[in-house]
């Protein structure tokens, strides 16, 4: 008996040692991310889109803070690509964009290696051509500690889908722009400045809206446990669509925006612009059987969603949910942004963020800050505009790629005033940094740290960041066709 136990113990120890050796050996190997085609079914019809998956089928990347992001991107497509790690503060040559590397040629690969210094919900997507429209994207989640119950942590990537090719969508936009531009301008001058024609909200009419490649005719269903808290990680990975998240019967607690913790906001409705991420905690009550989590596109009745099913009460039948809501959703607005503030920030609203505070929050990976000159302040202007007739979109009157860089001094505290002079909202994204929102329409706020901010038509947003990450960093509109038609530039640090 005793001997048997000892034998068992030894066998167990040996097993643990072997397992540890195998897993540590596996950990030392780079993670493979394959850029590939993916067959999906939308509204009962087959379609081919793109995906980024590991060889075992894992969608995207799940890692830990302070570990290495050691990834080989394998391009299995017959066209070039380049994959950007959206929201990560990383070394410039790892950014995964055409500014810092050659595109990855068809059937070739590229190795990325850098330390993960953040935690939270991020994502990856093609920064090449119009591939993002075909869902060449995936989640990128960085944990602080491993979640104890994996089914209580749900990633929800919002996507806009068309059976048309991105090229023909672009062509249609150009045709529509030419036909409707003069009318839009008349409308604008005749109406009050707050009235916007629906055409200004949505340039593209999509066939469906998806969450994790599925529409409401066949939605993703997640089993959840009653009396437990579920973290919903929303990623707006759509190309041209802003959404209202509707949690229905569940009360949500918004705890993180773009991977940065915020003072919690409790509601069952939230706004999410293109490129943004929201982590929302929901508590699953015992008595109900299922919960629909919906996302409705602004200016439309179109919606998508997933169903959470209470694992202890799952006999309840799940009704079909229509892809059309009963009412049209309004345009997104600044109400949510004005409420947001960082969880760990004691600086006053009018005191501004000193460089020291930004240092602490902005670039934990760079320990060389002390070598930079501190507390120099610089301000830059970023003026967004558009020519509706030709569908040309500009930053500071320049249309990418005919742009000159915006220079900032390395180690300076940068205040950037973003002025939107156009009739459309633009989700503006800065690479390599997170910025703090310090004013909206001139109203000073102690706003959130974000990497993407939806700038409403005819409005201003002031953001601040500490320029301690050297290199060339794209600043662009995350509406895919606006970016494609010129709304992109880059910020370059001077030593």
Residues that bind Cu ion in the complex, under the rule CB under 5 A: 426, 477, 479, 482
Find tokens 């990325």 and name the residue.
112
- Tell me the closest approach of the beta carbon of residue 172 to Cu ion, in angstroms: 17
Nearer to Cu ion, 247 or 332 (CB): 332
- Tell me the closest approach of the beta carbon of residue 221 to Cu ion, in angstroms: 34
Nearer to Cu ion, 134 or 482 (CB): 482
Nearer to Cu ion, 307 or 454 (CB): 454
- Tell me the closest approach of the beta carbon of residue 27 to Cu ion, in angstroms: 40
- Tell me the closest approach of the beta carbon of residue 386 to Cu ion, in angstroms: 8
| Residue 412, helix vs strand vs coil | coil
Nearer to Cu ion, 211 or 477 (CB): 477
- Tell me the closest approach of the beta carbon of residue 482 to Cu ion, in angstroms: 3
d(CA 325, CA 137): 27
Among the listed residues 205, 176, 172, the one whose alpha carbon sits nearest the alpha carbon of residue 388 = 176
Which strand (E) or helix (H) includes residue 473?
Answer: strand 472-477
d(CA 67, CA 160): 33
Q: Exposed, middle or buried by CB within 10 Å (0-12, 13-18, 19+), for 438?
A: buried
d(CA 490, CA 279): 29
Among the listed residues 277, 94, 203, 79, the one whose alpha carbon sits nearest the alpha carbon of residue 487 = 203
Instruction: Give the chain's radius of gyration (CA, Å).
Output: 23
Beginning with the edge strand found earlier in the chain, give each strand of the sheet holding 229-236 in spatial order: 208-211, 153-161, 229-236, 277-283, 252-257, 260-267
Nearer to Cu ion, 112 or 393 (CB): 393
Contact 228, 149 (CB under 8 A): yes
- Tell me the closest approach of the beta carbon of residue 65 to Cu ion, in angstroms: 32
Nearer to Cu ion, 203 or 464 (CB): 203
| Residue 18, helix vs strand vs coil | helix
Among the listed residues 454, 469, 52, the one whose alpha carbon sits nearest the alpha carbon of residue 276 = 454
Nearer to Cu ion, 5 or 397 (CB): 397
d(CA 114, CA 54): 19
- Tell me the closest approach of the beta carbon of residue 127 to Cu ion, in angstroms: 16
Nearer to Cu ion, 273 or 447 (CB): 273
Nearer to Cu ion, 196 or 482 (CB): 482
Q: How far is CA 55 from CA 36, 76, 85, 96, 335, in A?
A: 11, 12, 19, 21, 42
Tell me the two tokens of residue 292. 């629909």
- Tell me the closest approach of the beta carbon of residue 74 to Cu ion, in angstroms: 31
d(CA 474, CA 472): 7
- Tell me the closest approach of the beta carbon of residue 111 to Cu ion, in angstroms: 33
């Amino acid at each position: 008996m005793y001997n048997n136990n000892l034998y068992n113990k030894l066998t167990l120890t040996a097993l643990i040692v072997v397992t540890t050796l195998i897993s540590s050996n596996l950990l030392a190997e780079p993670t493979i991310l394959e850029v590939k085609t993916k067959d999906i079914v939308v509204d009962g019809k087959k379609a081919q889109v793109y995906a980024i998956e590991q060889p075992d089928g894992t969608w995207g990347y799940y890692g830990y803070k302070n570990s290495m992001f050691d990834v080989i991107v394998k391009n299995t497509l017959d066209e070039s690509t380049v994959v950007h790690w959206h929201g990560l503060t990383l070394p410039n040559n790892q950014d995964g964009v055409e500014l810092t590397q050659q595109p990855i040629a068809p059937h070739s690969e590229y190795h990325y290696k850098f330390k993960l210094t953040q935690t939270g919900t991020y994502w990856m997507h093609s920064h090449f051509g119009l591939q993002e429209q075909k869902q060449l994207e995936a989640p990128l989640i960085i944990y602080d500690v491993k979640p104890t119950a994996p089914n209580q942590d749900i990633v929800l990537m919002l996507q806009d889908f068309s059976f048309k090719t991105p090229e023909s969508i672009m062509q249609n936009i150009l045709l529509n722009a030419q036909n409707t531009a003069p009318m839009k301008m008349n409308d604008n001058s005749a109406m009050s400045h707050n009235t916007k024609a629906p055409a200004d909200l949505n340039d593209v009419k999509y066939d469906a809206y998806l969450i994790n490649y599925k529409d409401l005719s066949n939605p993703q269903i997640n089993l959840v446990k009653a009396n437990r808290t579920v973290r919903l990680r929303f990623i707006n990975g759509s190309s041209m669509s802003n959404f209202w998240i509707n949690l229905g019967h569940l009360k949500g607690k918004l705890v993180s925006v773009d991977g940065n913790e915020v003072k919690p906001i409790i509601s069952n409705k939230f706004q999410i612009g293109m490129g943004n991420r929201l982590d929302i905690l929901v508590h699953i009550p015992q008595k109900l059987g299922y919960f629909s989590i919906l996302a409705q596109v602004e200016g439309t009745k179109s919606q998508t969603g997933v169903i959470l099913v209470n694992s202890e009460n799952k006999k309840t039948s799940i009704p079909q949910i229509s892809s059309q809501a009963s009412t049209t959703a309004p345009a997104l607005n600044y109400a949510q942004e004005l409420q947001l503030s960082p969880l760990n920030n004691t600086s006053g609203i009018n005191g501004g963020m000193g460089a020291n505070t930004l240092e602490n929050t902005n670039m934990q990976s760079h320990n060389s800050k002390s070598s930079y000159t501190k507390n120099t302040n610089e301000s830059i202007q970023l003026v967004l505009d558009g020519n509706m007739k030709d569908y040309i979109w500009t930053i500071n009157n320049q249309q990418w790629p005919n742009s000159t860089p915006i220079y900032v001094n390395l180690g300076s505290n940068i205040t950037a005033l973003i002025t939107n002079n156009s009739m459309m909202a633009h989700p503006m994204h800065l690479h390599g940094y997170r910025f703090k929102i310090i004013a909206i329409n001139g109203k000073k706020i102690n706003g959130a740290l974000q990497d993407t901010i939806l700038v409403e038509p005819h409005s201003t947003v002031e953001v601040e960041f500490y320029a301690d990450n050297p290199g060339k960093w794209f600043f662009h509109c995350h509406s895919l066709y606006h970016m494609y038609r010129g709304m992109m530039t880059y910020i370059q640090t001077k030593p």
